[in-house]
Amino acid sequence: MRTLSLLLILFIILTTVNAQPPTLWTQTYGEYEDDRGYSVQQTNDGGFIIAGESDSYSSGWFHYDVYLIKTDESGNELWNQTFGGDRDDCGYSVQQTSDDGYIIVGYNGYTGAWDPDVYLIKTDSSGYEEWNQTFGGAFDDRGYSVQETSDGGYIVVGFTDVGDYDVYLIKIDASGVEQWNRPIGGSDDDRGYSVQQTSDSGYIIAGYTMSYGAGEKDVYLVKTDASGSQQWSQVFGGSDDDYGKSVQQASDGGYIIAGYTSSYGAGGSDVYLVKTDEFGIEQWSQTFGGLDSDMGHSVRQTSDGGYIIAGSTYSFGAAYMNIYLIKTDYSGNQQWSQALGGQFNDYGECVQQTSNGGYIIAGRTESYGAGGTDVWLIHLDSETGVNQLDEPQPLTYYLLPAYPNPFNPSTVISFELQVASFVELTIYDISGSKITSVVNGWRDAGMHEVTFNGSNLASGVYIYRLKEEEFVASGKMVLMK
């Protein structure tokens, strides 16, 4: 486990609506092989529990084990545990239980039935296993989300292969004994990724369906009663692929769903946020992203009634995939967004608002850490004092895309100032090393064009970063010789 200097997160602000919350700290966990984080929750002691998968600490060569990490409130590792056998095992979801232990769900690879089974693990407060159970049949069965229920048992959702995949809802008692299971879906591929117990003791599930809807994959929202019997279902999406990855019951009794859509938005795939009433009827939806692939993996309602979304973006950031964090108001209007990452792929998997009003994000990074892929934990401060979009402050500058891009050997970077300002326009290579400052001084209001010549540089991705007083914006350009 290593602490990352804040200086390493060089391109943290890439889209600006208003100022974003500062990073309090980041930590990575893992060693030289691949280690990934998929779920995080703040614990009763103010620290955090993370679940994922580890190749570095697994019980054999070239396979993953379930990876459980406990940290203090600053992200310092207190202990870690791994669980599994001699095949791939993964933990997708973790929650602290009422006895201060932990419940983890994922899959146990290639059990006696050969294909993966749903894998449920209960530990004590120190991460020592108390019991484990597997659920499923002869084919592929996986668990993606777990929650302790009001009766002290657990609810799990994932999918099961019964010829075509179905959503797989399983109710388990406090000792890990199955009480019932419900396959949900139609004649085609249907999968569940997120479940929560609702205020009426039933369950709400989000995933995708190919059995129903407008075509291809559609967001699938299913409501059941306390016995798992379906009360209603709804689908959302268009003619292309649309996924529901996370659901939560909102404070008004309706539901908020996050995922991603190829049917709507700016291009590629975009983050897809859907708000429904208590019967699953859509009240509004929003998309977020750019021309490339952008995905939402986790959503939570925040203390101000808005929503925080974590995912991944290829449209914004230094290079490749970056963690994508979006804050909206209660109507889904974006208040701010951040892209966090480095020179390789980085993914955001889970977000939660913390007790101090900030945000904790878990995911995985190829840019930082010991090597391969490492678990990445990021703690952001709250946006206390930030002007919200009710009375937006107009930007005093606009940074335009470099053109041409890709380029050889020259490209033009343009920016517009609404008022005379002190401006810095700096070029960096993909590792974050400064190449040159092309502007560093006062400029009058109006449009400005700067020609950047890369004839003495190697082919590759370069970052141009404009700083104007408290505002920062960045873009990437590709030199191809």
pLDDT (tens digit per residue) in 330-342 = 999 999 999 998 8
Q: What is the percent of the chain with per-residue pLDDT over 70, rounded to a whole number?
A: 89
For residue range 50-94, what is the model confidence (pLDDT) as tens digits? 999 998 887 765 678 999 999 999 999 999 999 998 788 999 999
Whether pLDDT at 98 is above 70: yes
Task: With a cut of 70, say whether residue 395 has pLDDT above it.
Answer: no
| Residue owning tokens 């609810």 | 155
Q: Specify the range with the lowest mean pLDDT, choosing from 170-174, 288-292, 353-357, 466-470.
A: 466-470
* pLDDT recorded at residue 224: 98
User: In the chain, where are the structural domains located?
Assistant: 12-380, 397-479
> Rounded mean pLDDT of the chain?
88
pLDDT given for residue 389 in this prediction: 27
Average pLDDT estimate for 120-141: 95
Q: For residues 152 and 31, what is the distance between their CA atoms, to the nearest angstrom?
A: 36
> What b/e sequence results for 97-117 when a residue is b if at least 16 CB atoms lie within 10 Å of its CB, and e otherwise?
beeebbbbbbbbbbbeeebbb
* Residues forming beta bridges with residue 287, ordered by sequence position: 272
pLDDT value, residue 382: 81
Q: In the predicted model, is pLDDT for residue 388 greater than 60?
A: no
What is the pLDDT at residue 418? 77
Quick check: 349 pLDDT over 50? yes
Q: Kindly report the number of other CB atoms within 10 A of residue 442's CB atom.
A: 10
User: Quick one: pLDDT at residue 18?
Assistant: 47
Write the DSSP string, 275-319.
EE-TTS-EEEEEEE--SS-EEEEEEEE-TTS-EEEEEEESSSSSS
Compute the distance between CA of residue 208 and CA of residue 144 in angstroms, rounded to an integer. 13
Pair of tokens at residue 41: 């929750």
Instruction: Identify the residue whose tokens are 């291809």.
Output: 216
3-state SS string for 330-399 = CCCCEEEEEEECCCCCEEEEEEEECCCCCEEEEEEECCCCCCCCEEEEEEECCCCCCCCCCCCCCCCEEE
Residue-wise pLDDT for 2-29, tens only, equals 444 333 333 333 333 445 677 789 999 9
pLDDT digits (tens, 9 = 90+) for 230-283: 999 999 999 999 999 999 999 999 999 999 999 999 888 999 999 999 999 999
pLDDT of residue 91: 97
Mean pLDDT value across residues 385-407: 57
Q: Judge: domain 397-479, CATH 2.40.160.50.
A: no
Q: State the pLDDT confidence band at 207, using cuts at 50, 70 and 90.
A: very high
Residue 112 has pLDDT above 50, yes or no: yes
Q: Domain 12-380 in CATH: superfamily? A: YVTN repeat-like/Quinoprotein amine dehydrogenase (2.130.10.10)
Residues 426-448 have a mean pLDDT of 87
Evaluate if residue 401 carries a pLDDT over 70.
Answer: yes
Residue 1: predicted pLDDT: 45
Q: Is the pTM value of this prediction over 0.85?
A: no
Distance CA 373, CA 405 (A): 30
pLDDT of 58 reads 78
* Segment among 284-293, 305-314, 464-473 with least mean pLDDT: 464-473
Confidence of residue 120 (pLDDT cuts 50, 70, 90): very high
Classify 7 as helix, strand or coil.
helix
Q: What is the C-alpha separation between 280 and 330, in angstroms, rounded? A: 17
44-53, 158-167, 196-205, 244-253: range with lowest mean pLDDT: 158-167
- pLDDT for 463 equals 83
Mean pLDDT confidence for 201-226: 96
